[in-house]
Amino acid sequence: MALDITIFETTSPSRFICFTIPNPSHPHHQLVRVAVLDSPIQSTGSPRVAALFVPNNREHEWIFSTESGHLQLLLSSPGIERLILIGNNPVNGPDSFFNYRKDVINDSAYLEKLEVSFKPLLLALSPKICAHNGISDIPILSYEDNVISSIVLEKCTGIFVGEMLVEDVEIDCDSEKREFRRRLRFKRLPNLVQTEIRMVPVQDYSLDSVKIGGEVEFKPDFRVLEPPYLRAMVASLSLISSHLEERISAKAAPKALCVGVGGGALLSFLRRQLGFEVVGVEMDEGVLRVARQYFGLEESESFRIIVGNAIEWMEKIVNERSGQNLDSVASFESEKDCCSNNLNDVDDYFDVIMVDLDCTNAMNGISAPPLEIVRKHVLLAAKSLLRDFGIFVINVIPLDRSFYDALIHKFRGVFLELYEIDIGNGENYILIGSVSPLISFTDDKESRFITKLRLVISGAYVDLIRKI
């Protein structure tokens, strides 16, 4: 059935159309996939149109081959109301994955040739009003990241998170040494890395002679915490360093509750590098299976994982402690191995609660946290699980400033003091609420705990904490 080109003369909110055509540059070669997406938000003036050529050998990746990935690309390009993606047609469909290595063919001369070949098509796919306004040039966006090569280790499905994949990548970094990472991604948010850990060869190989997917076996490096916003979350512990040092001196391990486990990088770091007793709450057992198999997650008496809804779990403990009726609270599945969901196993309070959850709705772009985790009754439940000097730490990716301001206002109604860390990437903020007044951490920089903290997270984010 022929495609009616006139449907592209106007924009329509969230309309997504995908088709294939012969490659104008190489008509006898592989088909080209063209995908056109209109923004959910439309302006009243002349719509802005842009195009993006999919990097060679990456056409199978979810960010380029799915509507949700296309939407995230569009939403990350302010002011664009129609984004046209052009790339090789994935031979076996968008759910097939192949090894990738950065190709020198993606250079400027090659892209200029593509732009010339596809310009008539791009103009034909532009709204009619653009031609009336004399707009004859369609800006070509570029997609750049630090991936040199990648290999998919497994693609699987979690009952709550949906399709996910585990991949090993080599990244281009400022360091002279080569760096390898293992990543966990969810299809619902294709360009968001859910978990990332550094990988190093098991044996003492020269990094110049190894590659991912080769014969060299890799293992997680738990000494380094990736990505940077997780280091900032850990830096928040400097606010209560004197209290933590007192507990450590008394041979009582500090306790952390982590809401959202993912691959377990944050939990493993707290346990291995800072000696915390850690409890993690995760809804999806499929995610936990991946964390154990690929990311080195290992439970023990001091490292427990609870399978269930974190909100219900926290409220259930609070109600149990206050003697309230629990009939209306959902029951939980039994924990595996050495762990238990028994309320009696959580008979103490936490020094810190850390929340790292993203919003499951990709329609407005990547955001965090989900609104349900920051409702007042949930924040009050979390607060009641903290010690008198405890802190509540949450990763925030605000949709806009008003969202962030509203979140701060909500926190002020629950916590006594608020602190913030601006990661500096224009995206992540760490918001910290305290149960009681905190002694200025600037007067405590020489404590043993802060010295160690600076050592294991490079120290930079400790100095970025500010009271708000």
Dihedral sign from CA coordinates of 267, 268, 274, 280: positive
Yes or no: say if 141 and 164 are a contact pair by the CB < 8 Å rule.
no
Tell me the percentage of the chain whose pLDDT exceeds 70.
Answer: 84
pLDDT at 364: 60
Where along the chain do its domains lie? 5-131, 147-223, 227-322+344-467
Which of 22 and 290 is assigned the larger pLDDT?
290
Confidence of residue 338 (pLDDT cuts 50, 70, 90): very low
Angstrom distance (rounded) from CA 428 to CA 422:
7
Angstrom distance (rounded) from CA 361 to CA 373:
14
Angstrom distance (rounded) from CA 370 to CA 396:
10
pLDDT for residue 441 is more than 60:
no
- Whether residue 369 is preceded by a cis peptide bond, meaning omega within 30 degrees of 0, is yes
pLDDT for residue 329 is more than 50:
no
Confidence of residue 333 (pLDDT cuts 50, 70, 90): very low
SS3 at position 198: strand
Q: What share of the chain is helix, strand, coil (3-state, %, to 5)?
A: 30, 25, 40
**Mean of pLDDT values over 349-368:** 83
pLDDT for residue 223 is more than 50:
yes
Dihedral sign from CA coordinates of 338, 382, 393, 366: positive
Between the two ends of the chain, the Cα-to-Cα distance in Å is: 60
Yes or no: say if 287 and 357 are a contact pair by the CB < 8 Å rule.
no
Fold of 227-322+344-467: Rossmann fold (3.40.50)
pLDDT for residue 380 is more than 90:
yes
**Mean of pLDDT values over 187-205:** 87
pLDDT tens digits, residue range 16-32? Answer: 999 999 887 765 667 89
pLDDT for residue 397 is more than 60:
yes
Yes or no: say if 61 and 192 are a contact pair by the CB < 8 Å rule.
no
Contacts 24+ apart (CB under 8 A), 369-374: 369/394, 369/395, 369/396, 372/311, 373/259, 373/310, 373/311, 374/407, 374/410, 374/411
Confidence of residue 324 (pLDDT cuts 50, 70, 90): low
- What secondary structure letter does DSSP report for 7? G
Poorest-pLDDT segment among 6-10, 191-195, 281-285, 325-329: 325-329
